[in-house]
Amino acid sequence: MVDAPKQPYTGDEMMDNLIRMNTELMSELWVLRDRVTILEHMLQEKGAISRKAIDDFVPTGDLAKELVRERDGLVEKVVGGAWMQGFSVESLVAKAKK
């Protein structure tokens, strides 16, 4: 068993945890970006969709609405995550319905 470090490196356990979380997120972000880049490359190689077509594509209609919904949801989750505001079954159900 490799044990956890005896003391936090920054002097504050929560700060260590936050930095670890942040680094892990960066790792996940990179894994995804690596994958998307490969995906685009392979699609182009196979002649299915070119990278330029992806760059030039402007989402409209339902797709545009879906992206707005997803983006706002992400901002709310991440930025809003810093403020604990209390919650109830109702508030959570309302959130799910948004």
DSSP 50: -
**What sign has the CA pseudo-torsion 26, 29, 31, 37?**
negative
DSSP 49: S
Minimum Å gap between C-beta 40 and other proteins is 14
Closer Cβ to other proteins, 9 or 57, answer by number: 9
List residues binding other proteins (CB under 8 A): 1-2, 5, 9-11, 16, 19-20, 23, 26-27, 30-31, 34-35, 38
Closer Cβ to other proteins, 34 or 66, answer by number: 34
Closer Cβ to other proteins, 24 or 76, answer by number: 24
CA distances from 49 to 41, 45, 53 (A): 9, 9, 7
